[in-house]
């Protein structure tokens, strides 16, 4: 091979290695990679060509990044320089209207880097792409090589957001600003800031000082005082900071529900007028704003007037979700309002309530957004809908000519465990319902990823948001028609060093542990296999109840259970004790592997392991979201098992879970029945709920019937009664209750 061929081969290999550096997230809508590089030498001039000198400050992060990475470099920024030595050019070109407000063109050649856009936001997003092209190296005297590319990039959706719930857990000002930085880096442009909740009011309102004197604080079970709030100066600072990053903050002031903190401060806002405390539990509560009281609307309008003075956003979010109608049903003023306004019941009253606020916002040149419950009773004229209970809300809104933001629990709720919504599932998200025609699709503004903070205080937010937000950013910016998750995941790997440098304590891409079982009825055994859900981890386990570590058994082959078995599992990052810990219990019994027939189907949102979940041999834990509890909403659970032949047994049992703040109750009565022919059933006995439904502690219990002598039957039926609706004393009075069941055991 001659020297010329060797040189060409080396150049090709070098160019290919540079291509691996083009790992921009979100992926540009058009990118052409070239076989060359731009070398950042010792002297670089950055020229900003525009009318606004403030753009010089906008590109300073590039100056800082280059200075950090190249020890002996001299980097300068000039404004509208005529010099021919400009190495990197940022230019506003008003002729580039085809790029819209946020699009840009980025050209990297061996001689220079040229960035052009129609608007400032476009230059800003081009800067984020350029920063991702710079190799992630520590300070060096070597030349920095940036791969040559031609990029034209225009976002698909105008609304690319994240909800941050600071109502349930307060998050400090510095933390909020840090998330604005992270959103902007990945070209997200909306921060939906959830500022009021049952558990805390977080925004200072001068006209109503008790909102933060009382409403911002709650007394925890241990007697400690928890809370916090943002002053109006804090909010101005955060809003201004976000604007510099082209992030619009959308404030959410919840109404009529999720308003306990406000009512605790000003009891006259409720239907009862009674003094209540700021909530300490999670869930949905029956004390909401009184819709029959004119002073309620005076209060809300006063609050919104101060909110609008702080937030320049076109949209104001008013919540509108999860508002139990129990108080309204028993409130003389609310019932009188329904009559005088000729409304269709309590749902009509909610629609009227939202309409009053919508009209007020329109008078102030603002637009209302609410969760999809605001559709109930009829949508007010100027409202936009945020669809969270699936896609139906977005479909209904768009078909009626209203705009919608899409953030369904199935793909966008990042407070959900990674086992429910993993990176690949987020990447598969399509915010545009297929049921809509072309004209209706224009009403889909975009989407959001939502971080509700019941179980995600500030220190846990990073691990819930990342890396999943990377997938959401690409879906909403690029909206790829063909989702190549494998290619996307490769680019994600290149983002981890960047996230490390930013101090982001990211979580896993999918459940760290994938556990599968296979039942062999003939051998009477359960084979338990475990799979690593993340690269760079190992699985260790113990069978004696002790906490596993690196000295414990390393998982290599399936584990066999012939009877009862408890496994403690640790998924540890390589060379580290950091990781995830699990405890799983298994029970091989006479019913294991026989699929039960259900009289009413389980809820899709709590399907556990599917049709065979009640007899798969896996016992549920104290976490009702562990994937092993099957949920039944508002319906009895009646499960019938055909054991294939007559068998002998001495007891039957079924496991249940109670978490009343989450509307999950023990069945008040469960009957066990047996049959030889599947037609004629005999009651083997009934078991009543072992605990009061007023006990708010999460509990699990096994309902069991034992026989004094062995009994023969082929068919086993477990009939558990559902309470139906939450009782009057419950915060969610009138709402449907849940039964959560795990394993039916026959021994």
Per-position b or e across 606-619, b if 16+ CB within 10 A of its CB: bebeebbbbbbbbb
Q: What is the SS3 assignment for 487-515?
A: HHHHHHHHHHHHHHHCCCCCCCCCCCEEE
**In percent, how much of the chain has pLDDT > 90?**
76
> What is the C-alpha separation between 588 and 684, in angstroms, rounded?
22
- How confident is the model over 17-27, as a mean pLDDT? 73
- 690 pLDDT higher than 80: yes
Element (H, E) at 359: helix 345-363
Q: What was the pLDDT predicted at 54?
A: 86
- 524 pLDDT higher than 90: no
Give the total residue count for the chain: 747
CATH code of the region 593-747? 2.60.120.260
Q: What was the pLDDT predicted at 7?
A: 35
Q: Are strands 630-633 and 669-675 parallel, antiparallel or unpaired?
A: unpaired
- 731 pLDDT higher than 80: no
Q: What was the pLDDT predicted at 732?
A: 81
Where would I find the beta strands (DSSP E) of 28-97? 30-40, 43-49, 74-79, 88-92
- How confident is the model over 247-251, as a mean pLDDT? 99
Per-domain boundaries in the chain? 3-153, 159-501, 511-588, 593-747
Of 131-135, 138-142, 173-177, 293-297, the one with minimum mean pLDDT is 138-142
- How confident is the model over 11-32, as a mean pLDDT? 68
CATH code of the region 3-153? 3.30.379.10
- How confident is the model over 171-188, as a mean pLDDT? 98
Please, what is the average pLDDT of the chain? 92
| This model's pTM is above 0.75 | yes
Q: What is the pLDDT of residues 36-80, one digit of tens each?
A: 999 987 788 889 998 888 889 999 998 888 888 776 777 888 888
Q: What was the pLDDT predicted at 481?
A: 84
Q: What was the pLDDT predicted at 264?
A: 98
Q: What is the SS3 assignment for 101-145?
A: CCCEEEEECCCCEEEEECCHHHHHHHHHHHHHHCCCCCCECCCEE
Q: What was the pLDDT predicted at 64?
A: 86
Residue 139 confidence class, pLDDT cut points 50, 70, 90: low
Where would I find the beta strands (DSSP E) of 246-314? 248-255
Q: What was the pLDDT predicted at 522?
A: 84
Q: Are the folds of 3-153 and 159-501 the same?
A: no
Q: What is the pLDDT of residues 613-662, one digit of tens each?
A: 999 999 999 888 888 999 999 999 999 999 999 999 999 999 999 999 89
Q: What was the pLDDT predicted at 489?
A: 95
Q: What's the distance, CA 21 to chain centroid?
A: 29
Q: What was the pLDDT predicted at 299?
A: 99
- How confident is the model over 155-159, as a mean pLDDT? 98
Q: What was the pLDDT predicted at 366?
A: 98
- How confident is the model over 542-559, as a mean pLDDT? 94
Closest CA to 653 of 627, 678, 692, 619: 619
The CATH class that applies to domain 511-588 reads: mainly beta
Q: What was the pLDDT predicted at 71?
A: 64
Residue 577 confidence class, pLDDT cut points 50, 70, 90: low
Check if the beta carbon of residue 447 is closer than 8 Å to that of residue 157.
yes
Q: What was the pLDDT predicted at 426?
A: 98
More confident residue, 319 or 604: 319
Q: What was the pLDDT predicted at 138?
A: 64
Q: What was the pLDDT predicted at 614?
A: 95
Check if the beta carbon of residue 515 is closer than 8 Å to that of residue 529.
yes
- How confident is the model over 729-747, as a mean pLDDT? 91
Q: What is the pLDDT of residues 486-517, one digit of tens each?
A: 999 999 999 999 999 999 999 889 988 888 88
- 6 pLDDT higher than 90: no
- How confident is the model over 370-396, as a mean pLDDT? 93
Please state which of the four CATH numbers 3.20.20.80, 3.40.630.30, 1.10.10.10, 3.40.50.620 is assigned to the domain occupying 159-501: 3.20.20.80
More confident residue, 526 or 213: 213
Report in angstroms the alpha-carbon separations of 565 from 521, 526, 552, 559, 561. Answer: 17, 10, 17, 10, 6
Q: What was the pLDDT predicted at 4?
A: 42
Of 134-143, 216-225, 519-528, 556-565, the one with minimum mean pLDDT is 134-143
- 533 pLDDT higher than 90: no
Residues 6+ apart with CB under 8 A from 415: 450, 451, 452, 453, 454, 455, 456, 464
Q: What is the pLDDT of residues 45-56, one digit of tens each?
A: 889 998 888 889
Report in angstroms the alpha-carbon separations of 607 from 262, 514, 666, 723. Answer: 36, 17, 18, 20
């Amino acid at each position: 091979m001659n020297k010329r061929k060797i040189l060409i081969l080396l150049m090709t290999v070098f160019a290919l290695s540079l291509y691996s550096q083009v790992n921009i997230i979100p992926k540009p809508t058009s990118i052409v990679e070239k076989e060359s590089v731009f070398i950042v030498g010792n002297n670089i001039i950055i020229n900003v060509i525009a009318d606004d000198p403030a753009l010089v400050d906008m590109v300073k992060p590039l100056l800082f990044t280059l200075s950090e990475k190249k020890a002996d470099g001299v980097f300068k920024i000039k404004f509208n320089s005529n010099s021919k030595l400009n190495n990197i050019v940022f230019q506003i070109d008003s002729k580039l209207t085809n790029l819209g407000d946020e699009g840009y063109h980025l050209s990297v050649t061996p001689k220079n880097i040229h960035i052009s856009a129609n608007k400032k936001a476009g230059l800003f997003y081009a800067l984020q792409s350029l920063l991702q092209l710079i190799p992630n190296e520590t300070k060096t005297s070597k030349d920095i090589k940036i791969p040559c590319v031609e990029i034209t990039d225009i976002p698909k959706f105008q609304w690319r957001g994240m909800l941050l719930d600071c109502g349930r857990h307060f998050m400090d000002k510095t933390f909020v600003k840090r998330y604005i930085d992270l959103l902007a880096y990945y070209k997200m442009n909306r921060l939906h800031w959830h500022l009021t909740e049952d558990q805390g009011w977080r925004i200072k309102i001068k006209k109503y000082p008790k909102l933060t004197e009382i409403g911002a604080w709650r007394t925890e079970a241990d007697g400690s005082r928890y809370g916090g709030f943002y002053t109006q100066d804090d909010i101005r600072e955060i809003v201004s900071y976000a604007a510099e990053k082209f992030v619009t903050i959308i404030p959410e002031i919840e109404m009529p529900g999720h308003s306990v903190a406000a009512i605790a401060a000003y009891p006259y806002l409720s239907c009862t007028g009674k003094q209540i405390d700021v909530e300490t539990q999670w869930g949905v509560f029956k004390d909401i704003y009184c819709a029959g009281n004119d002073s309620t609307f005076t209060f809300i309008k006063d609050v919104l007037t101060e909110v609008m003075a702080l937030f320049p956003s076109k949209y104001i979010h008013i919540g509108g979700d999860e508002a139990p109608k129990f108080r309204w049903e028993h409130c003389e003023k609310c019932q009188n309002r329904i009559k005088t306004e000729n409304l269709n019941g309590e749902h009509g009253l909610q629609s009227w309530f939202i309409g009053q606020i919508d009209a007020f916002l329109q008078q102030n040149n603002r637009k209302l957004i609410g969760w999809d419950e605001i559709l109930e009773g009829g949508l007010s004229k100027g409202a936009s809908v945020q669809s969270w209970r699936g896609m139906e809300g977005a479909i209904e809104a768009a078909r009626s000519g209203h705009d919608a933001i899409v953030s369904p629990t199935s793909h966008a709720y990042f407070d959900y465990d990674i086992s429910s919504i993993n990176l690949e599932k987020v990447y598969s998200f399509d915010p545009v319902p297929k049921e809509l025609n072309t004209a209706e699709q224009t009403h889909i503004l975009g989407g959001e990823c939502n971080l509700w903070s019941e179980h995600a205080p500030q220190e846990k937010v990073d691990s819930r948001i990342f890396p999943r937000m990377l997938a959401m950013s690409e879906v909403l910016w690029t909206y790829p028609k063909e989702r190549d998750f494998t290619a996307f995941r490769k680019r994600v790997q290149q983002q981890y060093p960047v996230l490390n440098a930013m101090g982001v304590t990211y979580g896993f891409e999918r459940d760290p542990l994938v556990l599968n079982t296979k039942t062999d009825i003939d051998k009477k055994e359960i084979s338990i296999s475990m799979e690593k859900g993340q690269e760079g981890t190992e699985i260790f386990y113990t069978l004696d109840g002790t906490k596993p570590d690196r000295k414990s058994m390393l998982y290599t082959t399936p584990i066999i259970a012939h009877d009862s078995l408890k496994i403690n599992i640790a998924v540890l990052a390589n060379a580290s004790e950091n990781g995830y810990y699990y405890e799983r219990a298994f029970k091989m019994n006479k019913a294991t592997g026989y699929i039960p027939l259900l009289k009413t189907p389980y809820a899709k949102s709590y399907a556990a392991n599917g049709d065979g979940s009640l007899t798969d041999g896996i016992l549920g834990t104290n976490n009702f979201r562990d994937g092993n509890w099957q949920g039944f909403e508002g319906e009895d659970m009646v499960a019938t098992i055909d054991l294939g032949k007559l068998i002998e047994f001495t007891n039957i049992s079924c496991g249940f879970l109670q978490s009343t703040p989450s509307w999950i109750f023990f069945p008040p009565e469960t009957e066990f029945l047996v049959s030889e022919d599947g037609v004629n059933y005999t009651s083997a006995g009934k078991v009543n709920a072992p605990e009061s439904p007023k006990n708010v502690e999460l509990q699990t219990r096994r309902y069991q019937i034992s026989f004094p002598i062995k009994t023969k039957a082929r068919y086993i039926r477990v009939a558990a009664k559902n309470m139906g609706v939450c009782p009057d004393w419950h915060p969610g009075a009138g709402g449907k209750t849940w039964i959560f069941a795990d394993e039916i055991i026959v021994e």
